[in-house]
């Protein structure tokens, strides 16, 4: 049996992980509070197959929101990693969207019951965040899915936005059995990239002053140099956190990024 235990080495410093959120707040990002999906994206979220009612489950010392396809049999699974707000309604919505596409979706609660409603509250939660514990929560979520009889053995990927995108990149360094990693404008590590084995998809904004196009492109080049399959797209004119824009251009970019995400998971978790 393959060993799916994650690699244990020093966690990234707090300063590295939160710098993107600090910059986002400083430049006026998230000024209106937590994201609310645009009506066009809400309509798209209702497509797909039937799903079970979402419920909170416990794994190790962590908890998370679990939602599954209602169809019988085993399914590939995706770990859904929150933004800096916490496990709020928007993150649960993304988990349900994935479940409708046929994936068992598990969104760990990395803040353990706390959810921010203002950028100031989100920053406070970030400052108190224990990166090492967060990575352990992600590993516990992975173990839960690995042992779940509804999950196709070993067919587990991850997705994260902003703070969650940065955590996804760092968890990919530590969990060699991940099959796919999707990063939406997450803070990108510069070390440890040689430890990433799974294919990586990145969606970034061309006008992002937090995770700049230059950083995203350098990340992609570094992964390719290590032999990792990587697909990064820069959306012209899109700022950080563009998946929440309700402008026509923002909705179009978000729709395209989601289609890329679903296609990527189909290719690397289902082999389609």
Q: What is the pLDDT of residues 126-151, one digit of tens each?
A: 999 999 999 999 999 999 999 999 99
How does residue 47 score in pLDDT terms, banded at 50, 70 and 90?
confident
pLDDT in tens, 177-198: 999 999 999 999 988 899 999 9
This prediction has a pTM of 0.90
Mean pLDDT of the chain, nearest integer: 88
Domains of the chain, by residue range, sit at: 52-269
The sign of the CA dihedral 77, 264, 23, 196 is: positive
CATH class in words for 52-269 = alpha beta
Confidence of residue 45 (pLDDT cuts 50, 70, 90): very low
Beta-carbon neighbour count of residue 234 at 10 Å?
A: 18
pLDDT tens for 223-263 read: 999 999 999 999 999 999 999 999 999 999 999 999 999 99
pLDDT > 90 in the chain, percent: 80
Scanning 27-181, the segments in alpha helix (DSSP H) are 39-45, 89-100, 119-127, 131-147, 163-174
Judge whether residue 40 has pLDDT over 50. Answer: no
């Amino acid at each position: 049996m393959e060993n799916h235990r994650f690699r244990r080495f020093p966690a990234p410093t707090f300063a590295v992980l939160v710098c993107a959120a600090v910059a986002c707040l400083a430049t006026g990002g998230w000024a209106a509070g937590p994201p609310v999906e645009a009506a066009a994206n809400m309509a798209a979220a209702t497509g797909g197959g039937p799903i079970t009612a979402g419920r909170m489950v416990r794994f190790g010392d962590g908890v998370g929101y679990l939602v599954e396809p209602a169809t019988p049999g085993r399914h590939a699974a995706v770990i859904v990693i929150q933004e800096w707000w916490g496990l709020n309604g928007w993150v649960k919505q993304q988990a349900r969207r994935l479940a409708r596409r046929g994936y068992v979706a598990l969104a760990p609660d990395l803040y353990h019951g706390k959810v921010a409603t203002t950028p100031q509250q989100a920053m406070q939660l970030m400052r108190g965040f224990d990166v090492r514990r967060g990575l352990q929560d992600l590993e516990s979520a992975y173990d839960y899915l690995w042992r779940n009889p509804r999950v196709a053995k070993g067919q587990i990927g991850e997705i994260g936005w902003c703070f969650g995108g940065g955590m996804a990149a760092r968890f990919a360094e530590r969990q060699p059995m991940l099959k796919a990693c999707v990063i939406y404008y997450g803070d990108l590590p510069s070390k440890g990239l040689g430890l990433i084995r799974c294919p990586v998809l990145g969606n970034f904004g061309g006008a992002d002053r937090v995770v700049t196009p230059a950083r995203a492109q350098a990340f992609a080049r570094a992964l390719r140099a290590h032999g990792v399959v990587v697909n990064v797209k820069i959306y012209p004119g899109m700022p950080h956190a563009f998946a929440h824009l309700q402008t026509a251009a923002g909705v179009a970019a978000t729709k395209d990024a989601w289609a890329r995400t679903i296609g990527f998971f189909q290719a690397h978790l289902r082999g389609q």
